[in-house]
C-alpha cells in the first residue's frame, strides 16, 4: 500500500531527453519514474511511489537558477508529494547546483522534506548543504548502484515521517546545525579529555570542526593601468586548434601555456575549446567569447592597458579536482609573478 508520494528531479541526460545539445531545455514534468528513478522506485518498494519526474536541462538551470527553481515548484505542486528527491548528481557541477537549488526551493515553498545526493567536490554541495539533506556519492554514474539504496533509505524515512538523526548516524553531509543536548560531563572536562587523547596520539572527535573554507586576503589594486601588463587565464579550455597538449575534456590533469604575442583575435580556424560539459558551439565559433584576446588588444592599442602578457594559461575546469586546480594555480602564479605581470583576468565558463 502506498504510504507516501515522491517527485523526482533529473537533468536532461538522466531524464532521457538528450545530451548536451538538450542542456538548454526549461523544466518539464512527466508522470511516473524515469531512468535512475526506476531503480529508486524498485528500492522504495510498495510503500513509496514516484508519481512524477521533473526534468530540466543543466545549462538552462545554471543560467536561470531562480526562475528554474520556481518553475520546478510550480510543476510539482499539483502532485502534492510528501517527499522531493533530486539526482544523484555525482560530480556534475551544473546538475549538482540544479539539485540543490530545486530541493531548497521546494522545501521552502511547499514545506515538504527534500533530499539529494552528490560527490563531495560538487559545487552544489557547499551552496545548499545547510538547507538540504545531501547524501555523499562517488564522482560519476559508475557509483549509481551504491547511491540508489542510500537515497531510497533516506526517502523512506522522510516519507514515513521518521526522525532524522545526526550526520554521523544517517550518513548525510553535515549541515552546520547545532542541536542542544544534555551530556554528563562539562565542556571543560570534555576539552581536557580531548587534549589528553591528542597528546597521547589517540583518536578523538571534535565537537565543533572548523570549516576548511579559506579566504585569501585581496591583493592590492593596480595603480597605473596604462603601464601594467595584464595576463589572461581561463578554465574554459581555449586551446590552439587540435588541442596540441591534449588537455582532457573533463578532470583535467594539466594546464597549458600558449604564446599569443602575435595574435590579435582568436579565430575559428586557429582556436577552439577542449572543455567538455557545455555546448562548445559558441566558443568554437569565436574563442574570444571565453578568452577575450581581441578586446585586450583593442585596449592595448588605445593605451588603456600597458600590455597584454605574451602568454595565456588554460585548463579545463570540468569536474577537475580542487587539488589539481590548486596545483595549476600555484604553478601559473609563479610564472606570472616571474614574468612581471601586474594583474590577471581569469575567465570561467
Q: Which residues are near another protein by CB under 8 A?
A: 59, 62-63, 65, 93-94, 97, 123, 126-127, 213-223, 225, 230, 233, 235-236, 278-283, 285-286, 288-292, 294-296, 298-299, 304-305, 315, 325-326, 328-330, 332-334, 336-337, 341-349
Rank residues 38 and 289 by Cβ distance to another protein and give the closer one.
289
Q: Which DSSP helix (H) or strand (E) runs through 238?
A: strand 238-240
Residue number, 43 or 344, with CB nearest to another protein: 344
Angstrom distances, CA of residue 73 to CA of 8, 115, 254: 12, 15, 41
Question: Measured from the CB atom, is 111 or 220 closer to another protein?
Answer: 220
Element (H, E) at 97: helix 93-110
| Alpha carbon distance 304, 294 (integer Å) | 14
Rounded to 5 degrees, φ, ψ at 233 are -135, 145
Nearer to another protein, 77 or 321 (CB): 321
How would you class 238 by CB atoms within 10 Å of its CB: exposed for 0-12, middle for 13-18, buried for 19 or more? buried
Minimum CB separation from another protein for residue 3, in Å? 36
Q: How far is the CB of 259 from another protein (least distance, A)?
A: 20
With respect to another protein, which residue has the nearer C-beta, 209 or 340? Answer: 340
> Can you tell me whether residue 305 is helix, strand or coil?
coil
Residue 77 or 347: the one with the smaller Cβ distance to another protein is 347
CB of residue 72 to another protein, shortest distance in Å: 17
Please state, in angstroms and as integers, the Cα–Cα distance from residue 81 to each residue in 39, 106, 107, following that order: 19, 10, 11
- Four-residue CA torsion sign, 141, 147, 148, 154: negative
> CB 342 → another protein: shortest distance, Å?
7
Q: In the complex, what is the shortest distance from the CB of residue 288 to another protein, in angstroms, rounded to a whole number? A: 7
Q: Do residues 108 and 114 lie in contact, with contact meaning Cβ atoms separated by under 8 Å?
A: no
Looking at beta carbons only, is 38 or 254 nearer to another protein?
A: 254
- Is residue 117 within 8 Å of 135, Cβ to Cβ? yes
CB of 40 to another protein, least distance (A): 28
**Could you give the angle at which helices 36-44 and 144-159 cross, rounded to 10 degrees?**
50
Please state the closest distance from residue 135 (CB atom) to another protein, in A. 20
Give first-to-last CA distance, the chain, whole Å. Answer: 47
Amino acid at each position: 500500500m502506498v504510504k507516501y508520494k515522491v517527485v523526482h528531479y533529473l537533468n536532461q541526460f538522466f531524464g532521457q531527453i538528450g545530451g548536451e545539445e538538450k542542456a538548454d531545455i526549461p523544466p518539464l514534468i512527466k508522470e511516473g519514474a524515469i531512468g535512475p528513478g526506476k531503480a529508486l522506485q524498485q528500492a522504495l518498494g510498495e510503500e513509496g511511489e514516484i508519481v512524477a519526474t521533473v526534468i530540466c536541462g543543466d545549462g538552462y538551470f545554471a543560467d536561470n537558477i531562480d526562475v528554474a527553481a520556481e518553475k520546478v515548484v510550480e510543476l510539482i505542486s499539483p502532485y502534492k508529494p510528501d517527499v522531493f528527491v533530486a539526482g544523484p548528481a555525482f560530480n556534475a557541477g551544473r546538475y549538482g547546483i540544479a539539485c540543490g537549488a530545486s530541493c531548497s526551493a521546494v522545501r521552502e515553498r511547499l514545506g515538504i522534506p527534500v533530499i539529494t545526493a552528490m560527490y563531495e567536490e560538487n559545487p552544489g554541495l557547499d551552496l545548499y548543504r545547510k538547507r538540504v539533506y545531501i547524501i555523499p556519492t562517488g564522482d560519476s554514474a559508475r557509483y549509481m548502484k551504491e547511491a540508489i539504496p542510500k537515497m531510497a533509505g533516506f526517502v523512506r524515512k522522510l516519507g514515513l515521517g521518521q526522525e532524522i538523526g545526526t550526520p554521523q548516524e544517517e550518513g548525510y553531509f553535515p549541515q552546520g546545525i547545532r542541536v542542544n543536548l544534555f551530556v554528563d560531563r562539562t565542556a571543560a572536562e570534555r576539552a581536557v579529555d580531548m587534549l589528553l587523547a591528542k597528546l597521547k596520539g589517540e583518536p578523538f572527535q571534535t565537537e565543533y570542526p572548523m570549516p576548511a573554507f579559506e579566504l585569501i586576503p585581496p591583493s592590492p589594486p593596480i595603480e597605473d593601468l596604462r603601464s601594467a601588463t595584464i595576463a589572461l587565464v581561463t578554465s574554459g579550455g581555449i586551446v590552439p586548434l587540435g588541442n596540441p597538449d591534449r588537455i582532457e575534456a573533463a578532470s583535467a590533469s594539466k594546464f597549458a601555456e600558449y604564446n599569443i604575442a602575435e595574435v590579435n583575435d582568436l579565430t575559428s580556424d586557429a582556436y577552439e575549446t577542449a572543455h567538455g560539459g557545455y555546448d562548445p558551439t559558441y566558443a568554437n565559433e569565436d574563442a574570444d567569447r571565453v578568452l577575450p584576446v581581441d578586446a585586450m588588444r583593442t585596449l592595448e592599442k588605445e593605451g588603456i592597458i600597458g600590455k597584454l602578457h605574451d602568454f595565456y594559461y588554460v585548463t579545463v575546469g570540468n569536474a577537475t579536482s580542487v587539488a589539481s586546480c590548486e596545483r595549476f594555480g600555484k604553478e601559473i602564479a609563479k610564472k606570472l609573478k616571474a614574468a612581471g605581470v601586474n594583474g590577471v583576468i581569469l575567465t570561467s565558463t
